[in-house]
Structure 1
């Protein structure tokens, strides 16, 4: 009887030990499986996150390497052909923009250009900037509809004190374009050649323009184009003191990393430019 009880006790102990071992093994397997599932889930979430982070250029091949970017400079976009360096006809302007689009170029904003040149940001390998100086009324009536139609970015350098609704735009038209997404930036207050002015007068031209345009658009004004490309050493100091991040001349050339941010090049476009000239400058 005693031997039988000992045998039963030993059998019970063996069953308990085997049960404990089985439960322990099961728990280890579940933990490993759980870690595997969690890792897989995290990887999938990362893939989804990466796939959804296309950025502002929708999968276009981008780079942060220095490649030189052309900044095209227009003025008036007229209703008809005129032999005037400041006037490009509406039809020719459309042809230029279509040539840019057909060549596979992306029109970037000046803010994107600034971030690329000085903050290490990436932009499309085929990038170009379109600017229009002065704030002529035909920039609103002729250029703006074409830019919207072709879904292209542009920057308009506005003479802040010339918004009269005659030759130049109305404040409401500037605000409408700004709200749409066209960059509105400074072309000084009265379009005086800065290099002919004292330091204080230069600073006033730059500050007053910035203030008026910021009050009009409700956005920060960060960039300026020098009237007639005129500047001197005082200008460079005044632009910085006035709070601008970049400034543009009319010297022909590309904008490169390492360039003085207050002496950037542009390519001014006139009525003699054909599509082939635009394509040549892009290259």
Structure 2
């Protein structure tokens, strides 16, 4: 517990220092639940629509790979973790209508479970080229303390499963939990040998390192949302 608290303190100091130049860079946004629930992984449908509509009007939304070929200033990448049923019900209609790109990070054990996306829903979303499928591991566990062999299985087997089941090329991986406490630098290096894009949940802007991509957790109370729809 003490070790985890120290990691949390270090991460907050680290992100605070890095956030000084936040407005100069792109942001990778992380969504989970789009509903009226009240918790730190949820954004209301109303706020989600306001945010996405404004970002789209400003032509800021792009795919992660686009950042290799254009200025990273002010661009925004949309990602979803886990993925909840509310993403299909409340987010997908707007994303489809506006034709904005987004990344779904699927955890294998959650597929077809209650309150999560079904195989058929994902296939429907993937029929649009703006939807990209990435791995969120098999078991949604903390990676820092597992063996290299077990991590390799989480990384590689999830990729193989997604590519076979959905007939896609899976080039992106998002660490479950994704904090400095949840995944180590060694974990990130190992993931980078398999995936072109590796994502964490460290709350700061993107500075150009595609093998350590931080993301802003967007909920009803986050600073980014409040600044965008004020």
Instruction: Give the TM-score normalised by the residue count of structure 1.
Output: 0.66
What is residue 187 of structure 1 aligned with on the other side? 136
SS of 1:166's equivalent? coil
What is residue 87 of structure 1 aligned with on the other side? 42
What is residue 132 of structure 1 aligned with on the other side? 80
Output aligned runs, 1:1-283, within 5 Å.
Answer: 68-78=25-35, 81-102=36-57, 104-113=58-67, 116=68, 121-122=69-70, 126-181=74-129, 182-229=131-178, 230-241=182-193, 243-257=194-208, 259=209, 261-273=210-222, 277-279=226-228
In structure 2, C-alpha distance between the alignment counterparts of 1:276 and 1:201, rounded to whole Å: 37
In structure 1, C-alpha distance between the alignment counterparts of 2:147 and 2:225, rounded to whole Å: 42
In structure 2, C-alpha distance between the alignment counterparts of 1:72 and 1:209, rounded to whole Å: 22
In structure 1, C-alpha distance between the alignment counterparts of 2:138 and 2:72, rounded to whole Å: 34
After superposition, the Cα gap between the structure-2 partners of 1:231 and 1:237, relative to the gap in structure 1 and judged at 3 Å, is: same
After superposition, the Cα gap between the structure-2 partners of 1:86 and 1:125, relative to the gap in structure 1 and judged at 3 Å, is: closer
In structure 2, C-alpha distance between the alignment counterparts of 1:276 and 1:88, rounded to whole Å: 10
SS of 1:105's equivalent? coil
In structure 1, C-alpha distance between the alignment counterparts of 2:84 and 2:99, rounded to whole Å: 21
After superposition, the Cα gap between the structure-2 partners of 1:278 and 1:90, relative to the gap in structure 1 and judged at 3 Å, is: same
After superposition, the Cα gap between the structure-2 partners of 1:247 and 1:276, relative to the gap in structure 1 and judged at 3 Å, is: closer
CA contact (8 A) 1:175 1:216 kept: no
Which whole-Å deviations, capped at 9, do the CAs of 1:81-115 have from their partners, x for residues lacking one?
2221111121211011122134x1331112223xx
CA contact (8 A) 1:223 1:245 kept: yes
1 or 2 for the larger relative contact order (CA 8 Å, sep ≥6)?
Answer: 2
**Alignment coverage as a number of residue pairs:** 202
Which whole-Å deviations, capped at 9, do the CAs of 1:237-274 have from their partners, x for residues lacking one?
32134x101211111211123x3x33221111112248
Structure with more of its chain in helix, by fraction: 1
**Structure 2 unaligned regions, length at least 5:** 1-23
- 1:188 deviates by 0.7
CA contact (8 A) 1:73 1:267 kept: yes
- 1:74 deviates by 0.7
After superposition, the Cα gap between the structure-2 partners of 1:244 and 1:275, relative to the gap in structure 1 and judged at 3 Å, is: closer
Bigger Rg, which one: 1
- 1:276 deviates by 5.7
Which whole-Å deviations, capped at 9, do the CAs of 1:120-168 have from their partners, x for residues lacking one?
x225854210111111111111111111122211111110221124111
CA RMSD of aligned residues (A): 2.1
